[in-house]
A = this chain, B = another copy of it.
Amino acid sequence: MTTTSSFARGSHPSDERALLTHATIEAWKQGIVSGDWDAVSDVLAEDVAYHNPASLEPYVGKSALVTVLRTVFNIFQDFEYLREFSGESDYVLEFRARIGDAQLFGVDIIELNEHGLIVNLMVMIRPADVVGTLSAEAARRIGAAGAAAE
C-alpha cells in the first residue's frame, strides 16, 4: 500500500482520480443534506454495497440504497455533517442528527471505484439503542410504502 500510494501521489492519473473523488464526495454531501436523491444516485455504482448499522449483511444495488436513504432522511432531524477524514481512496464523513429527543452521531465510510463512483457505503451510529429505533421505524415505513404500491 505504501508503494502504490507513493507512486500514485506524483502521477497524473492520480491527480485526475483525486479530483474525481473530491467531486463525488461533494456531490454526495450536497445531495444528502438537500435530499436530492437523483444527485445522490448519480454518484453510486450500480452494484453499490450498503453495510447498514443494524445488520452485518449488506444490501446490494443502487435502488435499494436510495430507498433506504430516502426513508432514513425522513426520520432524521437536524442532520449535519461534521468532521471529514480521508484514507487511501476512501472517505469517512462524521455526522450528527436526532430522532425526536434522541441525539445520535455516526459515520459514513465511503469507498470509491476507479470511475469515482461509490461502490461501498458502511454506516455506523452511536448510541447503539438509537439504531434499533431507526431501523424499526425505517422498516415500518418501507413496508408501508411497499404495501401501498401493491
- Could you list which residues of chain A lie within 8 angstroms of chain B, going by C-beta atoms? 51-56, 83-88, 90-92, 94, 103, 105-107, 109, 122-129, 131-132, 135
Classify the interface of chain A: helix, strand, loop or mixed: strand
Contact A129 B83 (CB under 8 A): no
Contact B92 A128 (CB under 8 A): no
Given A107-B124, A124-B107, residue A129 in contact with residue B90 (CB < 8 A): no
**Chain B residues positioned under 8 Å from A122 (CB to CB):** 105, 126
Docked Cα-Cα span, A85 to B93, in Å, equals 10
> Which of B53, B55, B92 contacts A85 (CB under 8 A)?
B92
Contact A128 B54 (CB under 8 A): yes
Q: How far is the CB of A123 from chain B (nearest CB, A)?
A: 8
Across the A-B interface, the 3 shortest Cβ-Cβ residue pairs: A85-B85, A128-B131, A124-B124
**Chain B residues positioned under 8 Å from A106 (CB to CB):** 124
Contact B90 A85 (CB under 8 A): yes
**Chain B residues positioned under 8 Å from A85 (CB to CB):** 85-87, 90-92
Docked Cα-Cα span, A132 to B127, in Å, equals 10
> Which of B55, B83, B87, B103 contacts A90 (CB under 8 A)?
B83
